[in-house]
Amino acid sequence: MSVVSVGGDYDVVIESGCSTRVADVIGDGVRRALVVHPDSMRSLGEAVTASLRDTGIEAYAVGVPDAEDAKTAVVAADLWSLLGRHGFTRTDVVVGVGGGTVTDLAGFVAATWLRGVPVVQVPTTLLGMVDAAVGGKTGINTPEGKNLVGSFHPPRAVLCDVDVLATLPREDYVAGMAEIIKAGFIVDPVILDLVASDPEAAGRPDGPHTLELIERAIRVKADVVSQDLRESSLREILNYGHTFGHAIEQVEHYRRRHGEAVAIGMVFAAELAAAAGVLSVEVVARHREVLTSVGLPTAYEAGRWAELETAMRRDKKTRGDLLRFVVLEDVGRPVRLEGPTQEQLHTAYAAVSP
């Protein structure tokens, strides 16, 4: 078992079988729990619910639509209604059991119910474990953009049961690698070396470096969010690749995996940094190399610039008319690029849409 403390405020536990031990981390005085899960994880959701009932808690399991279809105002409103009907108070708890979409939704509902009740996160995807469930960013999408409505609401605990990754479809596992590789580029280059040492194994849960990759990525995130929960500055580095990545997701009506969009977004950011003269072509090439080696995409369709730019203007890092990007000066040296020229933007887009 490994435990990563997030600034001493809560723990991220990485352990086989820990998903049904929510009762141990839930805290005192909890009478009711709402366990939110996607239909694909019904049996785990019900097992978590049963484990809570065994300790005398009035626990309810509720299924939500799959993937990004869970992150809507309508689904959030259904959950608020359920909490109201069952009389959830400020000492009761929401539990998110699922991928990043479910932990974002469950976290958001917990953040907003009675202006904030505790949430315990049980991420069941690689991406959820290394990124979404950790750090307290919660939210839902609107048709206009990704995560446009949300709140900062740190969880009470995060339980990463690595056994559940065995059933995760390969494409979803690989999508999670994008956020691990992101952590490698922005802070921890050892991650990139571990991936390069056996890229095929990095794309599956039984690879020799799986636990180390998970723990390293969680440590990067924990370290950043414990210094800057509300993203006043440092936390923006975790958004590397997301300005263009979220734009892809929005123009694709949320039908593209987040991790895949972020992979393309990191290549766009690297090309943009090169066009602005701050990053070497060698590091740009390394982006394509490492992402391709695990099976992630690095290119996007040509001819969609206008809609992508419109979507990027709704990014949370934008200030007024000023587009702002996280770019690298080198591996492990993230900086901000504010107001890139149209020529630099077009050069970067041309480079990712050959």
Select from ligand NAD, ligand LNCXM5UN, none the partner in contact with residue 99, using the beta carbon and a kind-dependent cut-off of 5 to 8 Å: ligand NAD
Nearer to ligand LNCXM5UN, 134 or 194 (CB): 134
Compute CA distances 2 → 5, 58, 104, 211, 219, whole Å.
Answer: 10, 30, 23, 9, 11
Residues in contact with ligand LNCXM5UN, shown as a per-residue x/- string from 112 to 141 under the rule CB under 6 A: -------------------x---x-x----
Q: Which residue's structure tokens are 């352990």?
A: 15
Least distance CB 98 / ligand NAD (angstroms): 5
Active-site option among 216, 257, 258, 288? 258
Query: Cβ neighbours of residue 320 under 8 Å, at least 6 residues apart?
Result: none
Query: By C-beta, is 41 or 263 nearer to ligand LNCXM5UN?
Result: 263
Name the segment binding ligand LNCXM5UN (CB under 6 A); options: 17-25, 55-63, 230-238, 321-329.
230-238
Separation of first and last alpha carbons in the chain: 45
Size of the site for ligand LNCXM5UN (CB under 6 A): 12
Is 137 noted as a catalytic residue in this protein? yes
- Closer by beta carbon to ligand NAD, 40 or else 250: 40
How far is the C-alpha of 257 from the C-alpha of 19, rounded, in Å? 24
When asked if residue 238 is in the footprint of ligand LNCXM5UN (CB under 6 A), the reply is: yes
Q: Which two tokens stand for residue 211?
A: 């636990």
HEC per residue, 57-83: CEEEEEEECCHHHHCCHHHHHHHHHHH
Is 239 a catalytic site residue? Answer: yes
Q: Which CB, 96 or 135, lies closer to ligand LNCXM5UN?
A: 135
Distance, in Å, from the CA atom of 159 to the CA atom of 210, rounded to the nearest integer, reads 16
Sign of the alpha-carbon dihedral angle for 166, 170, 172, 176? positive
Q: Please tell me whether residue 242 binds ligand LNCXM5UN under the rule CB under 6 A.
A: yes
Q: Which residues bind ligand NAD (CB under 6 A)?
A: 38, 40-41, 66-68, 71, 98-102, 104, 124-125, 127-128, 131-132, 135, 137, 147, 164, 167-168, 172, 175, 179, 258-259
Region 147-166 residues binding ligand LNCXM5UN, contact defined as CB under 6 A: 147
Using the structure block, give the residue that is written with the tokens 């239909």.
39
Q: Is 70 annotated as a binding residue?
A: yes
Q: Which of 153, 219, 246, 288 is catalytic?
A: 246
Taking Cα atoms as reference points, which of 339, 342, 172, 334 lies closest to residue 266? Answer: 334
Tokens of 102: 């479910």
Q: Assess whether 287 carries a catalytic annotation.
A: no
Which of 137, 156, 182, 256 is the catalytic position? 137
Query: Do 212 and 193 contact (CB within 8 A), yes or no?
Result: no
The reply, when asked if residue 89 is annotated as ligand binding, is no
Instruction: Please pick, from the candidates 124, 125, 210, 239, the single residue that binds ligand LNCXM5UN as defined by CB under 6 A.
Output: 239
315 has binding-site annotation? no
Helix (H) or strand (E) holding 325: strand 324-330
Residue 221 a catalytic site member: yes
**Of 344, 2, 272, 349, nearest in space to 162 by CA:** 2
> What residues line the site for ligand LNCXM5UN (CB under 6 A)?
131, 135, 137, 146-147, 179, 231, 235, 238-239, 242, 316
